[in-house]
Structure 1
Amino acid sequence: MVDIWIVVLRGVQYAAGALLLGLPAFMLYSQRAVASLELRWPRQVLIWAAAALAVAAPAALLAQTAMMAGSLNEAVKPASLAFMVTGMGLGKALMVRTLAAALALGATLLLRPGRPTWSVLTLLGVIVSASFAWTGHGAATEGAGHAVHLISDVVHAVAASIWIGALAAFAVLIGRRPSSNPSWDASVARSLTGFAGVGTAAVGALVVTGLINSAFLVGPSKALELWTSPYGDLLMIKLVLFGLMVGLAAVHRFRLAPLMARDAGQALPHLKKSLTVEFAVALAILAVIAVMGTLPPPAAL
């Protein structure tokens, strides 16, 4: 039962962390495109995401402690929690994540939306995403490759969060389109075009760091035997879903974004459907990763 809660809490943290980085980052690099829209919903979404993470991270700390201590009764004892927080890298990372989430919640509630606030929230989002590397397989690598694997894992998490956060932003923008508003359509078209460079960089980073991480977690000798382990099965599912996301992103970039600039009425139905599918696939990948984090990789078997 504890294992199930660990997976669920991992998934919640991944989704909330992606929003906490990807959404304020989107507001920064798309500021010129969306400034005239005077968007209010990003603040509301970030409040919920920060609150969810501020609850899920300490809950995950308790669940992890219960798994290591053998029971929930043992986990709630101060000595058990203190050992986890002071003696385990996983506990320290969860505490940092909790603090970053609490600071993000406070900043979102107290500061006026704008570039300074988005910058602060982006920085806190980077801290949250980076902390995932310390609670994953990257932190367990030993020897000379430890730093390389850990840094690669951090970059992987940051790039994924930027992409998923942008998807959430576009999905809400398209979903909340006011009827017959040419200026709104033009702003969204500019933001879609402007995301091309950021999205390409994120995909490139994910591919490169994914290969690096796989070299450590799978190893060349077992690359063709992924189906022999549960971790390998999930990795293949993740790769298929990632390929689907890349395909949909290419359709947005090269077909729907230009069409949006020419004829918003024709582009919007297709864009809304494909963005919904891509965001759903992204959430599915986060769920797969949440399970993968609890399984031994092939290289460890």
Structure 2
Amino acid sequence: MADVWIVVLRGLQYAAGALLLGLPAFMLYSQQAVGPLGLRWPRQVLIWAAAAAAVAAPAALVTQTAMMAGSLSEAVKPATLAFMVTGMGLGQALMVRTLAAVLALGAALLLRPGRPMWSVLTLLGVIVSASFAWTGHGAATEGAGHAAHLISDVLHALAASIWIGALAAFAVLVVRRPAEDPAWEASVARSLTGFAGVGATAVGTLIVTGLINSAFLVGPSKALELWTSPYGVLLMIKLVLFGLMLGLAAIHRFRLAPLMARDAGQALPHLKKSLTIEFAAALGILAVIAVMGTLPPPAAL
């Protein structure tokens, strides 16, 4: 039962982390496009995301401690938790994540929406997302490759959060479309075009760091035998979903964004459908990696 809770809590933290970094970052680099719209929902979403991370991270700490200690009653003892927090990188990362999430919640509640608020939340989102590297397989690599794998894992988590957070922003923008508003249509078209550089950087980073991580976790000798392990099967599913997201992102950039600028009425139904599919694929990837983090990679078998 604890294994199930670990997966659920990991998935919840991944989703919250993506929003805490990707959404305020989107509000920063898309300020000229979406600023005039006076959006209120990003603050509300970030409040819920920060609250979810602030609850899920310490819950994950207790659950992980229970797994290692053998029982929940042993895990909640102060001495056991103190050892987990002070003596293990996993516990330290979860505590840092909890603190960053609590600070993000306070910032989202107390600050007014605007560049200062988005900047603070983006910084805290970087801390939350980067901390995932210390609670995953990247931190377990030993020897000369430890630093390279850990850095790659950090960059992979940051790039994923940037992409998924922006995707969530676009999905909400399209779903909450006001009736016949030329200013809104122009803002969405500009934000789609403006995301091109950020999105390309995020995708490039994901591909490069994904290859590096796979070299450590799968290894060249087992790259053609992925179907022989549960981790490998899930990795193949993740790659298929990533390919689907990549294809849809290309359609958004090169077909729907120009069409949106010319004829929003024609572009919007296609954009809403493709964004829904892409967002579902992103959630599927988060669910997959939540499970993958609990499984031994092929290189360790």
Match of 2:60 in 1: 60
Match of 1:185 in 2: 185
Q: CA deviation at 1:179?
A: 0.5
Give, as a single letter, the amino acid of the residue that structure 2 aligns with 1:237: I
Matches within 5 A, 1:208-223: 208-223=208-223
Distance 1:195 1:246 in 2: 14
Distance 1:79 1:265 in 2: 62
Q: With structure 2 as the length reference, what TM-score do the two structures score? A: 1.00
Match of 2:14 in 1: 14
Distance 2:35 2:78 in 1: 49
- Residue 274 (structure 1) aligned with residue 252 (structure 2): no
Match of 1:230 in 2: 230
Distance 2:2 2:82 in 1: 20
Distance 2:107 2:161 in 1: 19
Distance 1:277 1:238 in 2: 15
Matches within 5 A, 1:58-207: 58-207=58-207
Q: With structure 1 as the length reference, what TM-score do the two structures score? A: 1.00
Give, as a single letter, the amino acid of the residue that structure 2 aligns with 1:291: V
Once the two structures are superposed, what CA deviation does each residue of 1:106-140 show, in whole Å capped at 9, x if it has no partner? 00000111111101100000000100000000000
Once the two structures are superposed, what CA deviation does each residue of 1:123-159 show, in whole Å capped at 9, x if it has no partner? 0000001000000000000011100000000000000
Q: CA deviation at 1:79?
A: 1.0
Match of 2:26 in 1: 26
Q: Secondary structure at the match of 1:179?
A: coil
Q: CA deviation at 1:215?
A: 0.2
Distance 1:97 1:137 in 2: 17
Once the two structures are superposed, what CA deviation does each residue of 1:250-293 show, in whole Å capped at 9, x if it has no partner? 01011100000000000000000100110010000000000000
Distance 2:103 2:87 in 1: 24
Give, as a single letter, the amino acid of the residue that structure 2 aligns with 1:230: P
Q: Secondary structure at the match of 1:15?
A: helix
Distance 1:146 1:255 in 2: 42
Distance 2:229 2:277 in 1: 29
Q: Secondary structure at the match of 1:296?
A: coil
Give, as a single letter, the amino acid of the residue that structure 2 aligns with 1:22: G
Distance 1:187 1:14 in 2: 29
Match of 1:48 in 2: 48
The number of residues matched between the two structures is: 301
Structure 2 residues not aligned, in runs of 5+: none
Once the two structures are superposed, what CA deviation does each residue of 1:30-82 show, in whole Å capped at 9, x if it has no partner? 00001110000000000000000000000000000000000111111111111
Distance 1:273 1:77 in 2: 50
Distance 2:228 2:84 in 1: 33
Structure 1 residues not aligned, in runs of 5+: none
Match of 1:297 in 2: 297
Distance 1:139 1:227 in 2: 25
Match of 1:255 in 2: 255
Distance 2:118 2:44 in 1: 13
**Residue identity (%):** 88
Once the two structures are superposed, what CA deviation does each residue of 1:159-211 show, in whole Å capped at 9, x if it has no partner? 00000000000000001110010011001100000001100100000000000
Distance 1:12 1:45 in 2: 14
